[in-house]
Amino acid sequence: MGTEPGSFGKSVRRFLVSGFWFATPNAPVARTRNQKPETRNGCELPYKNAGRLVLLWSTQQRQGALRDRSQVNFPNVEDWRKLNHSFEDIAAYAAWQEVVTGHGEAERISTLRVSPSFFGVMGAQPLLGRTFVANENLNAKASVAVLSYGLWQRKFARDPNILGKTFSLNSTTFTIIGVMPRDFRSLPVSLVDASVELYQPLSKDYLDEIPSGNHLRAIGRLKPGVTLESAQADLNVIARQLELQYPDYNTGRGVRLVKMQDDLVRNLRTGLLVLQIAVCLVVLIACVNLANLLLSRSTVRRKEIAIRAAVGAGRARLMRQMLTESLLLGALGGAAGLLLAVWGVHVLEAIGTKVIPELTDVTIDLRVLGFTSAISLLSGIVFGMAPAAQISIGSLADALRAGGRSAPDTAGRKTFRDALVVSEMALALVLLISAGLLMNSFRHLRAVHPGFDATNVLTADISMPVAKYARTEQRARFMREVLAALRQLPGVRYASAVSVLPESSNFNQMSADIQGRVFQRADKPSLDQYDVTPDYFRELNIPLVEGRLFSEQDDRVHPNVALINLTAARRLWPGQNPIGAKLHTGADGEPWRTVVGVVGDVYQYGLDSPKTMQLYYPYEQDANFDMTLAVRSDSNPAVLGSAVRQAVFSVDKDQPVSDIEPLDQVLADSMAGRRFSMFLLVLFA
């Protein structure tokens, strides 16, 4: 009680969690499109005492519901860090996409901005140089960076004299102060946007930021012997103190602690449970088959066993013989299962990496192998006992007098075998019906209209460096020139851009104020906010329900305008015409925007998710740094990939283009989880 379970207990738990007869790393998918995760050896999280790593999420009562998985702000993290008695240390981090130039072709990479305590929390030491020191993030001019081993190898050719050298990141010069070792993974891919290749200190801006800016994440390492429950109680006291001290920003806000390993599997539990049930049903069917086989063989060999008994073989000797034969069958079955598992690992890597990125790291785990070997042998013993017991019962004279090679079944034996057949059919029907229901559900899901037309649309991500495109006018001009170049490509009908692509894992939710209404801070409506260029709705065939769409005149010299979707119109202005209403998002000083149109709903978080309220701004008036280009062509858009890249380079040769992918593939990837589960369940059925 309260101690770490033994190796056999761990094997049982791993078998029950994984749903497979081999080990899979515990991490769901949540990553940048097409981003390949770094690989690692083994199946455990690659951190020292990983069981003591805990994520700290912010909780908040909002619109009558508790949001228990919100991001945090730097001031709160610092207060948690200084006031708690349960953690060795706590660190804050934020994932970013940055552009590296000056060493070969410009490249967009994933970076992590971290507080100085981050590497200590993760229990990591650099391979070369050092990591960030205390207060280094307070110096706004301290442009230093730590490289991952992969980036050091790929971009800098493993230069042993790399320390002190500089490179350009988003048009800002950084000095390299350290390189992490090959086996340091930073954070699992599900906890950040993609595999991290470079680390920067959190800038001074985060410390100066008002506590309402919640776009950081926090991770801590528990002290030895401290339980998650006691740490939660400790942080609850601190949260109440902060609520009293900063009521404007912390009213109704608390903290929730989740072990990192548990957080990683939160999205997979239901699917793995279904697959585990399927595995158990298949195992039971196999066991019933084994029992039926052994009973049939015992019927055929009944006269042989009687003769052996007649010439002096004792009952114990006969039972040992039968159990030995059944154990041999179990061992052979286990060996065949092992070979199938080895083959199945490669199949899963091929079909499942879009759902579980870490399937690239799957290996046959020795503990799981030992557990399943024990199950195989136990099956041989259990299901060899029944025929062994029955074959030793009865009159030897009756068996010897029976004509032919075998004796007829007794009534009891026949009833037992009939029960096995009925059980096998029932188990098989459960699997078949479940697979049929899942296939039917998937068919209905595919029939759902996503709210846009993905046919012949190619998408590509760009991220403009802040230093180079600091002003809105610069970003707007760059986007105009890029879209003009794309429209000149042969076969291109439309070219547009959007800040958040539908059905992607990205999102940008903003709290809104509506002119003429008063909301409590926690009750403000939350909308998905997008920056779009004028042709976006025509290109994706998103219908106009009321009012007008954006035009080229919706720029910074004209009044600020916005579009909303049908769901937002119905929820925020029920029974009213929203055209002409004014709203704004963000800080109180943001300009009011006039609603000029209502467009159709678009599914942002999956076709099985509820429709959300959506808000669109014209790009010329907001100009996000990170955008996704969308190009509709008359034919297969995949052939345009190189031309799209060259069109962007013609405007800015240092602007990388990443994640070039057809939009219908993005839509298909959004259903990859259901497709993968359906495939496995149908395979078992």
**pLDDT tens-digit profile of 425-480?**
888 888 888 788 878 887 877 778 888 998 999 999 988 887 788 888 999 999 99
In the prediction, which pLDDT does 209 show? 53
Asked whether residue 663 is assigned to any structural domain, the reply reads: yes
Interior/surface letters 174-198, b for 16+ CB within 10 angstroms, e for the rest:
bebbbbbeeebbbbbbbbbbbbbbb
Asked whether residue 560 is assigned to any structural domain, the reply reads: yes
Whether 87 and 141 share a structural domain:
yes
Last residue of a domain, one of 424, 446, 468: 446
Asked whether residue 682 is assigned to any structural domain, the reply reads: no
Number of structural domains, the chain? 3
CA angle 553, 559, 563 (to 5 degrees): 80
Last residue of a domain, one of 203, 230, 264: 264
Whether 465 and 554 share a structural domain:
yes
Q: What is the dihedral of CA 232, 234, 237, 239, to 10 degrees?
A: -60
Least confident of 121-130, 227-236, 314-323, 395-404: 395-404
Whether 156 and 258 share a structural domain:
yes
Last residue of a domain, one of 404, 427, 446: 446
* 167 φ/ψ angles, rounded to the nearest 5 degrees: -155, 165
Whether 111 and 206 share a structural domain:
yes
Closest CA to 112 of 200, 242, 176: 200
Q: The dihedral of CA 227, 230, 233, 238: what is its sign?
A: negative
Whether 573 and 436 share a structural domain:
no
Closest CA to 55 of 67, 64, 68, 46: 68
Alpha-carbon distance of 515 to 531, in angstroms, equals 21
Whether 313 and 439 share a structural domain:
yes
pLDDT band at 193 (very low <50, low <70, confident <90, very high): low
Asked whether residue 25 is assigned to any structural domain, the reply reads: no
Looking from the CA of 346 toward its CB, the CA atoms found within 13 Å total 4
Asked whether residue 476 is assigned to any structural domain, the reply reads: yes
Tokens of 630: 């969308």
Asked whether residue 173 is assigned to any structural domain, the reply reads: yes
Whether 104 and 45 share a structural domain:
yes
Query: Are 311 and 56 a contacting pair, CB within 8 Å?
Result: no
Query: Are 494 and 631 a contacting pair, CB within 8 Å?
Result: yes
Whether 437 and 479 share a structural domain:
no
Tokens of 565: 């979707």
Whether 173 and 121 share a structural domain:
yes
Whether 257 and 336 share a structural domain:
no
Whole-model pTM: value is: 0.68
160 is in which domain, residue-wise?
31-264
In angstroms, what CA-CA distances link 434 with 447, 628, 683?
20, 39, 12
Asked whether residue 400 is assigned to any structural domain, the reply reads: yes
**pLDDT tens-digit profile of 511-527?**
888 888 887 766 788 88
* Mean of per-residue pLDDT scores for the chain: 78
Taking residues 55-64, report their average pLDDT: 78
Asked whether residue 486 is assigned to any structural domain, the reply reads: yes
Q: Spell out the residues 6+ positions from residue 2 whose beta carbon is closer than 8 angstroms to its own.
A: none
In the prediction, which pLDDT does 31 show? 34
Alpha-carbon distance of 644 to 532, in angstroms, equals 19
Whether 193 and 207 share a structural domain:
yes
pLDDT band at 26 (very low <50, low <70, confident <90, very high): very low
Whether 282 and 344 share a structural domain:
yes
Query: Are 573 and 604 a contacting pair, CB within 8 Å?
Result: no
